[in-house]
Amino acid sequence: MQTVVVAFFISLTVALLLTPLVRGAAVRFGVLDHALTSRKIHGRPVPRLGGVAIVVAFFTPLVALFFFDTGVGRLLWGQPQRALALILGGLAIAALGTFDDLKGSGARIKFSVQLLVAALMWFADYRADTIATPFGTFGLGVFGFPLTVLWIVGVTNALNLIDGLDGLATGIALAATGTIFWVALNNGRPLMALFMACLAGGLLGFLRYNFHPASIFMGDSGSLFVGFILATTALETHEKTTTAVSLLVPIVALGLPIGDTLLAMTRRMVRGQPIFSSDAGHIHHRLMARGLSHRATVLALYGIAIVLGGVAVALFHSDAEQTIAYAGAVVAIAVMLLVTAGYVPFNRTRQLFSDRKNNLAMRATVRRAGELLRHAEDPQGIWNVVQGAVPALQASCAALKVVARNGTVKTCEFSWGFDEAPVTVLRVRFSLLGERPDDGGLELGFTDGRRTVDRDTEIAVELLCEHVYAAVQRIAAKHEAETTGSRKLLQFRR
């Protein structure tokens, strides 16, 4: 236990000292969250990459155990397969998140890496092989592997999705970390308790700078890493437990991010949005729309996370009858939160179907545009496709600026409709790089009297911008290859 306490304070100290340094480096190199979409709450560029401080703080005590002979240290290096798997898996996920913060990576790359790492964790014996219920324990058999992978990938991304307010994901993760730490200690899992102590210290130190008003965000480098560590340790901690519903303990402990993710996926499917798109319908967005301030929303969700953690601990010590009662309490909390956050739209059914129809129409247009852009040969071809897609996005004007760097900077600009547009036209510019600024961009004009662009339209335009950017990069790379080939041929002839 002494080693665990020391590990916590080492991690805490490292996070407190390192986070300001990471923040300064992020500002210096322009790694900022610019709030370019309506779902963003903050109104100014904020440094991200704070997850780097959390990752370093987490691993520092573990590395220190190399140099000190302790009981937990011997246990750590006495189980090299599990320890090495979690360390290497965590580093891989942290590297993925850091790359996404710096350069941006699509959903396909993210999920491919996460699925691979989750599969490797299963082979390293982080797995769900059985499920204990009040009615008995059941082996999962062949379903153990997909359930394990789904759990790790799901929880990893759940924390990322709920990271929408200053300090929100950090505090919720801290509450879950405390819960899993308690269960690990009482379930004979000192190694998992050590991991949770290291993570708790890093999170608490980082929260000093991440709480509202935040001076740094954890970014994907932090949220994906923290989600991964929570998922794997919770999975290991629940095994061989004596509780009546073993897997329900980590599910309840992580109930807030898991529930928010399931709601987001359901909401997007019903509305006809891409499942992995970002929107402004998360629990924290709904509570703020109900009138809660930024800080009050975060504190309210902290409270719910702590309550769920307490229920998870109670479940760990419960028998079958008590488990049913606690499960009923969790359902009551969930229903209360859904009603409070406005997730029960009894009076908006007709509007919901109308939104779904519009979203599916816009997605179909963007999908066709993406197919055409794959065959575009030059910037003019790109503009022709964009111009054809604009009416389906309910815009009346459009302008496109593309900047391709292939040795020299070449800029092409196109415009349509703005010269004849009324002075009251709403002009909205979208970056081709999504949530990162760029020199180019797509600007749309709306003359229907609206004052803002709804999130549904924003999502469709963002998808179109992804296709445009991919076409620009492809054409630039092709031109550069042709230019290089011509130079080599000319040199050969000489």
The predicted-structure confidence for 133-155, as pLDDT tens digits, reads as follows 666 666 777 888 998 999 999 99
Residue 296 maps to a domain: no
Could you give phi then psi for residue 32, rounded to 5 degrees?
Answer: -125, 150
Is residue 90 within 8 A of residue 98, CB to CB? The reply is no
Is residue 127 within 8 A of residue 191, CB to CB? The reply is no
Residue 149 maps to a domain: yes
Is residue 208 within 8 A of residue 17, CB to CB? The reply is no
Q: Is 376 exposed, middle or buried (CB count within 10 Å of its CB: 0-12, 13-18, 19+)?
A: buried
Residue 323 maps to a domain: no
Return the number of other C-beta atoms located less than 10 Å from residue 65's C-beta. Answer: 20
Q: How confident is the model at residue 244 (pLDDT cuts 50, 70, 90)?
A: very low
Residue 74 maps to a domain: yes
Sign of CA dihedral 414, 387, 398, 433: negative
State the average pLDDT over residues 311-337.
80
Residue 274 maps to a domain: no
Chosen domain end from 243, 274, 295:
243
Q: Who contacts 234 (Cβ-Cβ below 8 Å, separation ≥6)?
A: 155, 176, 180, 249, 250, 253, 254
CATH for 474: 3.30.450
Residue 250 maps to a domain: no
Q: What is the pLDDT of residues 200-230, one digit of tens each?
A: 999 999 999 999 888 999 999 999 999 999 9
Is residue 206 within 8 A of residue 177, CB to CB? The reply is no
Q: H or E segment at 116?
A: helix 107-123
Chosen domain end from 243, 259, 288:
243
Residue 326 maps to a domain: no
Residue 338 maps to a domain: no
pLDDT at 450 (0 to 100)? 87
Task: Tokens for 220, please give them.
Answer: 């994907």
Is residue 50 within 8 A of residue 206, CB to CB? The reply is yes
Enclosing domain of residue 195: 2-243
The string of DSSP letters for 310-354 reads HHHHHHHT--HHHHHHHHHHHHHHHHHHHHHTT---TT-HHHHHH
State the average pLDDT over residues 294-299.
92
Return the number of other C-beta atoms located less than 10 Å from residue 309's C-beta. Answer: 25
Q: How confident is the model at residue 283 (pLDDT cuts 50, 70, 90)?
A: confident
How far, in Å, are 22, 139, 168, 233 from residue 194 at the CA level?
25, 28, 24, 10
Sign of CA dihedral 381, 382, 383, 388: positive
Return the number of other C-beta atoms located less than 10 Å from residue 27's C-beta. Answer: 15
Domains identified in the chain, total number:
2
12 with 153, same domain?
A: yes
Return the number of other C-beta atoms located less than 10 Å from residue 303's C-beta. Answer: 11
Q: H or E segment at 392?
A: none
Task: Tokens for 372, please give them.
Answer: 């055409």
How far, in Å, are 183, 234, 286, 320, 329 from residue 242 at the CA level?
11, 15, 38, 11, 21
- The Cα–Cα gap between 114 and 130 comes to 23
Sign of CA dihedral 444, 448, 449, 451: negative
Q: State the virtual CA torsion across 354, 355, 356, 362 in degrees, nearest 10.
A: 110
Chosen domain end from 199, 216, 243:
243
Q: How confident is the model at residue 71 (pLDDT cuts 50, 70, 90)?
A: low
- What integer best gives the mean pLDDT of the chain? 84
Quick check: 70 pLDDT over 70?
no
Return the number of other C-beta atoms located less than 10 Å from residue 108's C-beta. Answer: 9
378 with 230, same domain?
A: no
- The Cα–Cα gap between 32 and 44 comes to 9
pLDDT at 105 (0 to 100)? 78
150 with 12, same domain?
A: yes
What is the pTM for the complete model shown? 0.83
Is 126 strand, coil or helix? coil
51 with 188, same domain?
A: yes
